[in-house]
Amino acid sequence: MEEKMYLKWYNKIGYGSGDVAGNVVYAFLTSFVMIYLTDTIGLMPGIVGTLIAASKLFDGVTDIFFGSMIDKTHSRLGKARPWMLYGYIGCAITLVAVFAVPTSFGDTAKYAWFFIAYTLLNGVFYTANNIAYSALTSLVTKNAKERVQMGSYRFIFAFATSLVIQSVTVGFVDKCGGGAAAWRTVAIIYAIIGFVVNTISCLSVKELPEEELNDGAVTDKEEKYGLVQAFKLLVKNKFYMMICGVYILQQLYSAMIGAGIYYMTWVLKNKNLFGVFSWAVNIPLIIALVFTPTLVGKWKGMYKLNLRGYMLAVAGRALVIVAGYLGSVPLMLLFTAVAALGQGPWQGDMNAVIASCSEYTYLTQGKRVDGTMYSCTSLGIKIGGGIGTALVGWLLEVSGYVGTAATQPASSLRMLSFMYLWLPLVFEVLIMLVLSRMNVEETVENIKREKGIASDCVTDEE
């Protein structure tokens, strides 16, 4: 039986465009904040890494808090859209603040400025915005196929934005005059773009009535749970823990790929190659995302597609190592593209997987916690991204890297090769192993059959 359709094509595109705003923050921050602080502001990478890691201790609490608040929100805009809309105002302001460390300050004041701005950006405003944005996948449609399509549109915009940010930022900063003032100018421009697009995206979809989301069931009783109980609900869901783990590993992977700007600058001797490698990563991801909804339908689900995709990704990253030691940039680009192609399906359908994960909690625990469930997206991004960026700083510090130096010691060059070539492969293997255990779709369908509930499986029909 064909599922009811809830969205028009422009709703899906409008929703997906929201990740332009998200990646104006995320791609800019993860790819360039460390090199801005070390090579422009002159801060020590090890101290910066430690501050970022300390900031994550606060972040872990706010993820579940904002997810719980979204579940309890009742407004004219719905549950999630108010948090998405207003949270981005703070994102824009604090993004600029992160890249506006006053050069006239002493080192201690510079570290303090960065820590406060970075913590507010990640722990408060980005959290509220991103969890709300992700939760809309469950709140604007009940159609499993549409949820996959929303995820694909979303990440097409995400990777296209990352491609643009990573390709143009270095040259953009140079054209703005270089130095601290140029970084601040670029941050202001990106923040304005993000604010405009986020507003458009938020208003392009409409949340379903709560009665329809719950199939007419009474929701007041279901929603009366506190922060501690919300945490317990999440921990009891093994698939939530798996998804959170995959998100963390993905962000660790991305942090090492983002550290490629150091690898290109000091090992390959051409910092502009960072933009070229960004094309090798993001174009295959976008291509894979275009075909993900069709492949999910043809393969009757997401599990096999995701697992086989990451098997390809592991093979691709292994060959990048071989090409790196051969000194062949063209082969490195080719195998980087192969790895990215394999990562694409999971990127496109993971929001739908999380929706199934939320359904699992509802079926087993009797509570609708869509907003809280999507805390895994923000929690994983921030913990993984934060630890990854901190790890970059620590490894650079251990290797003897000095950002303002004209040359780097051999120990730093070896470390940069380890970070860019070997660590991504390690993280890819771990992701593949977790995905091999994450068949949440089949589990949900089995529970529904046991309870005599109609199935919402994705069909082969377009």
The string of pLDDT tens digits covering residues 127-155 is 899 889 988 888 888 887 888 888 788 88
> Is residue 374 pLDDT above 80, yes or no?
no
Q: pTM score > 0.85 for this model? A: no
- Phi, psi for 17 (deg, rounded to 5): -65, -15
What is the percent of the chain where pLDDT is above 70? 91
What is the residue-wise DSSP string for 104-141?
TS-HHHHHHHHHHHHHHIIIIIHHHHHHHHHHHHHHS-
At 59, list the tokens. Answer: 């972040």
| Domains observed in the chain | 11-451 (1.20.1250.20)
Task: Report the alpha-carbon distance of residue 201 to residue 132 in Å, rounded.
Answer: 12
State the first-to-last Cα distance of the chain, in angstroms, to the nearest integer: 13
> Is residue 215 pLDDT above 70, yes or no?
no
Contact between 25 and 95 under an 8 Å Cβ cutoff? The reply is yes
* 345, burial (CB in 10 Å: exposed 0-12, middle 13-18, buried 19+): buried
pLDDT band at 378 (very low <50, low <70, confident <90, very high): low
> Is residue 232 pLDDT above 90, yes or no?
no
Sign of CA dihedral 289, 290, 293, 295: negative
Q: Which residues contact 181 (CB under 8 A, 6 or more apart)?
A: none
pLDDT at 377: 63
Helix (H/G/I), strand (E/B), else coil: 80:
coil
> Is residue 217 pLDDT above 60, yes or no?
no
Amino acid at the residue 208: L
At 24, list the tokens. Answer: 């104006």
pLDDT at 434: 95
At 358, list the tokens. Answer: 């939320």
Q: How is residue 41 annotated by DSSP?
A: S
Contact between 159 and 282 under an 8 Å Cβ cutoff? The reply is yes
